[in-house]
Structure 1
Amino acid sequence: MFSPEEIQSLNELEFLLYNYVVKNSEKVIYMRIRDLAKEVHVSTTTILRFCKKMDCNGFSEFKVKLKMFLEEQEKQILNDDKTVFLEFLNRASSKDFDELMNKACSIIHDSAEVLFIGIGNSGGIAAYGAHYFSSLNKLSSSISDPFYPVTGEVKEKSLAIVLSVSGETPTIISHASRLKSNNWKIISITNSKNSTLAQMSDVTITYYAQYQTYKYYDITTQLPVMYIIETLAKRVFNLAQNEKK
């Protein structure tokens, strides 16, 4: 119900309202606008402006849409990700994809250290990526805290691998922008080559998995991301091994 574009358009007060609605949806659909305003400590004008940004003419229409959304979620059946992953593996077998992976490997191999960045599910994968790379002798660390201070201080051959399904998460874009302005190399792993993050990156590896959500949560499969990370790590390891021969 709440698209990334709609969420990004919210100001500070509207975002407080959004957070309350997400956590109390079953309660909100039965509330009066004055009661909601009192509960969140915002004005009714703020609520109406919020509703307009959610493409609703007023609070009553917003509640109807919210109720319908909740009912749909209760009936939702989640698809197995096997087909999605097999389709990705088919694309990953192409020459273009292989060349893109090799280009990323060359940048990673030349870097002194790798910083993985991700938030939410991508944050968990970022931590895994840093651990996996470090296990194969590539010094790596990760950031999954959206409020972590990224100063962007330049180290020799600095590289960030940034993970984001949408490529539009404001905090991720902010982190990447700071690093980019300080001459870091950016490799992004995302679901869309047309995203803001992709446009900022030196190399973008896209996997085009079908978006899946449950309630307000992004549950898009991370299997392609895991494959990409593990394949990159192994190829970089092999590059280093070949240099020793």
Structure 2
Amino acid sequence: MSTSKHDLFKTIAQAHPQLRKSERKVADYVLEHRAKIVQMRIVDLAAAADVSEPTVVRFCRALDFDGFQDFKLNLAQFVGTNTSYQQFRLDSRDSVEQFKEKIFDSTVGNLMRVKSDLDATNLEQAIAALAACKRLDCYGFGASAPICSDAQHKFFRLNISAAAYSDPHLQTMAAVTLKPGDVVIAVSQTGRTKDLLHTTELAMDAGATVIALCPSNTPLAEQVQIPLYIDLDEDKELNTLMSSRITQMVVIDVLAVGVTMKLGEETMIHLKTIKRSLKNLRTPAKRIK
């Protein structure tokens, strides 16, 4: 099979003019509903594209696949690894269904990419530093600030003294009062924010360990002791980088779970105590008759 998984959708688009009219209907559906196809049976795709099952098979073979299952396998691999799948552009002509698909597809693709790219050694170092820390500060500006608040919440529940700062003056004052054994989590979508570079440098000068969630090959990634690279493909013209915050929050979850496991049974008992203490704050669930 000559088609490479790394240019699958480009191959479909290039082959589109040469396909039969009915096969083009399959191609159009596949291009607009990329993530769905992996979960579909051939009968589902045929019905959705309003063609026959043999037409779906002919479409797959026209692209030099052995059949629908071979095509679907390569599509699944492409979705999980190819960066062009993760990037998208919103169009003013997009329907709600179309931009919904694009946003979900982009987010899922970016999550899978970061999952495979995260360095296990750096993760282990970050978890070890957090588990041993006496104090945790979380620094971030703009859209990164809510991620820091989430991190504060996660680690506070683990009985770690944690605080989140999104003001440059407060960050500076906090950074210079850190001591060896303390940890900073710095979150940045660009890795180039001057104020964040300044406060993380102050934190390291004070003897703290800095963990950064940021893109690779950026000033922040190169400055800190433990970088956790989050390289995403997104529409840079959007005011909000959509899947950045979701991916960053998942990485925070990974760190929090890692610290919980490292701290052991005592922390698990502490979490159960917190859960019991919150019980009276919730309305009891209705029993299903």
TM-score past 0.5 threshold: yes
Change (3 A) 1:150 1:99: same
Aligned counterpart, 1:196: 219
1:166 maps to which of 167, 190, 209 = 190
State the shift of 1:84 in Å: 3.7
Q: Give the direction of change, closer, same or farther, for the CA distance of 1:220–1:168 in structure 2 (3 Å limit).
A: farther
SS in 2 for 1:115: strand
Task: Report the AA paired with residue 146 of structure 2.
Answer: G
1:187 matched to 2:214: no
Match for residue 144 of structure 2 among 122, 130, 136: 122
8 A Cα contact 1:88 1:208, kept in partner: no
- TM-score, normalised via structure 1 length: 0.61
Shift of 1:167: 0.4
Please identify which structure carries the higher helix content.
2
Deviates more, 1:172-181 or 1:228-237: 172-181
More divergent stretch after superposition (206-215 vs 104-113): 206-215
TM-score by length of 2: 0.53
Structure 2 residue identity aligned to 1:175? T
Q: Name the counterpart of 1:237.
A: 260
* Mapped contact 1:127–1:144 kept (Cα < 8 A): no
3-state DSSP class of the match of 1:165? coil
Bigger shift: 78-87 or 124-133? 78-87
2:93, 2:123 → 1: CA distance? 36
1:10-57: CA deviation from partner (whole Å, max 9, x where unpaired): xxxxxxxxxxxxxxxxxxxxxxxxxxxxxxxxxxxxxxxxxxxxxxxx
Task: Give the 3-state SS of the residue equivalent to 1:104 in structure 2.
Answer: helix
- Does the 8 A contact of 1:117 with 1:142 survive in 2? yes
Instruction: Give how far 1:180 is off.
Output: 1.7
Query: Structure 2 vs 1, CA of residues 187 and 143 (structure 1 numbering), >3 Å: closer, same or farther?
Result: same
Q: Which residue in the other structure is 2:199 paired with?
A: 175
Give the unaligned 5+ runs of structure 1.
1-71
- Which residue in the other structure is 2:46 paired with? none
Whose Rg is larger?
2
Matched, 1:88 2:114: no
Kindly indicate whether the alpha-carbon contact (under 8 Å) linking 2:180 and 2:206 is maintained by their aligned counterparts in 1.
no
Match of 2:233 in 1: 210
Cα distance in 2 for residues equivalent to 1:146 and 1:73: 33
Separation in 1, partners of 2:263, 2:169? 35
Identity score, percent: 16
CA-CA distance at 1:181 after TM superposition: 1.8
Match of 1:100 among 122, 144, 148: 122
Quote the offset at 1:132 in angstroms.
1.2
Greater strand proportion = 1
Listed one character per residue, the Cα deviations across residues 79-131 of structure 1 (whole Å, up to 9, x for unaligned) are 4143443443354246x633321121011112111100000110111011101
Provide the alpha-carbon RMSD of the alignment. Answer: 2.8
Q: Report the number of matched residues.
A: 171
In the TM superposition, what is the alpha-carbon distance from 1:146 to its structure 2 partner?
3.0
Moved over 4 A (4+): 242-245
